[in-house]
């Protein structure tokens, strides 16, 4: 029994290290390309190197970390292709969710969508802007009252892709246009117009994808 307790304790510590590092990567506290030194992480978190090594292996499997032969590990970069496929996946989920949300939403759902939009208008800095955008989109999906759609959407928004898109599109004009498009989606939900909500959400994601591709093309010039 003692050996089993030690095994469970090790798994628990590994999970805690994994969650801490994952959160730091997703929220941008650990930037893409930054080195991850097992000794430093071990000292910072007050654990041995073994759970750190196991946690880094899990993060590598998640695509969040890259292991470097004989050089340790680093936070994985987010490529344009990563962003593109994520947006394409969102096109299969969020427009449908917006239609259901317009038809099924409750007053509290609209309050949450409005609160996210208000937070977007107040946001200062890429991380706050990203978090308010994420909260808006997830609030719309949750208003559809479909657990599967919510699960898929949460998985897509759980990575760093959205934050990197905001960093690429941080111009005032693009951010203002994004907020205006969100306001139109909210209005469609408010009047229970499912068809318009679906159309607006699809156009919004398509426009965001077009901006992303255009920005990438400008970067290559």
Are residues 94 and 168 both part of a single domain?
yes
Predicted local distance difference test score (pLDDT) of residue 180: 95
Are residues 103 and 197 both part of a single domain?
yes
Predicted local distance difference test score (pLDDT) of residue 145: 98
Are residues 17 and 120 both part of a single domain?
no
Are residues 169 and 88 both part of a single domain?
yes
Number of structural domains (the chain) is: 2
Are residues 34 and 98 both part of a single domain?
no
CB 97 within 8 A of CB 140: yes
For residue 32, what is the domain's CATH number?
A: 1.10.10.10
Can you list the alpha helix ranges (DSSP code H) found in the chain? 2-26, 38-45, 49-61, 80-104, 107-122, 126-142, 147-157, 161-168, 172-190, 194-220
Are residues 105 and 173 both part of a single domain?
yes
Are residues 177 and 198 both part of a single domain?
yes
Q: Determine the 3-state secondary structure of 76 from DSSP.
A: coil
Supply the range of the domain harboring residue 61.
2-75
Are residues 150 and 116 both part of a single domain?
yes
pLDDT in tens, 96-149: 999 999 999 999 999 999 999 999 999 987 778 888 999 999 999 999 999 999
Confidence tier at 221 by pLDDT (50, 70, 90): very low
pLDDT exceeds 60 at position 78: yes
For residue 197, what is the domain's CATH number?
A: 1.20.120.530
Higher pLDDT residue, 20 or 5? Answer: 20
Are residues 35 and 102 both part of a single domain?
no
Confidence tier at 11 by pLDDT (50, 70, 90): low
Share of the chain above pLDDT 90, in %: 51
Are residues 88 and 177 both part of a single domain?
yes
pLDDT in tens, 163-173: 666 666 666 77
């Amino acid at each position: 029994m003692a050996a089993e307790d030690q095994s469970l304790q090790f798994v628990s510590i590994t999970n805690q290290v994994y969650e801490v590092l994952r959160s730091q990567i997703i929220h941008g506290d650990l930037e893409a390309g930054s080195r991850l030194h097992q000794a430093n992480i071990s000292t910072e978190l007050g654990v041995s190197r073994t759970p750190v090594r196991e946690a880094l292996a899990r993060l590598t499997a998640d695509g969040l970390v890259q292991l470097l032969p004989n050089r340790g590990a680093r936070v994985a970069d987010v490529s344009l292709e990563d962003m593109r496929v994520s947006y394409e996946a969102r096109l299969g989920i969020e427009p449908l969710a917006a239609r259901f949300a317009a038809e099924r939403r409750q007053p509290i759902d609209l309050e949450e969508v409005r609160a996210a939009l208000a937070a977007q208008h107040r946001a200062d800095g890429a991380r706050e802007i990203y978090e308010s955008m994420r909260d808006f989109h997830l609030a719309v999906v949750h208003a559809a009252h479909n657990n599967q759609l919510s699960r898929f959407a949460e998985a897509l928004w759980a990575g760093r892709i959205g934050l990197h898109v905001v960093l690429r599109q941080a111009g005032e004009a693009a951010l203002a246009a994004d907020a205006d498009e969100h306001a139109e989606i909210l209005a469609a939900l408010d009047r229970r117009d499912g068809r318009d909500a679906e159309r607006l959400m699809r156009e919004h994601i398509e426009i965001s994808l077009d901006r992303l591709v255009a920005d990438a093309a400008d970067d290559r010039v």
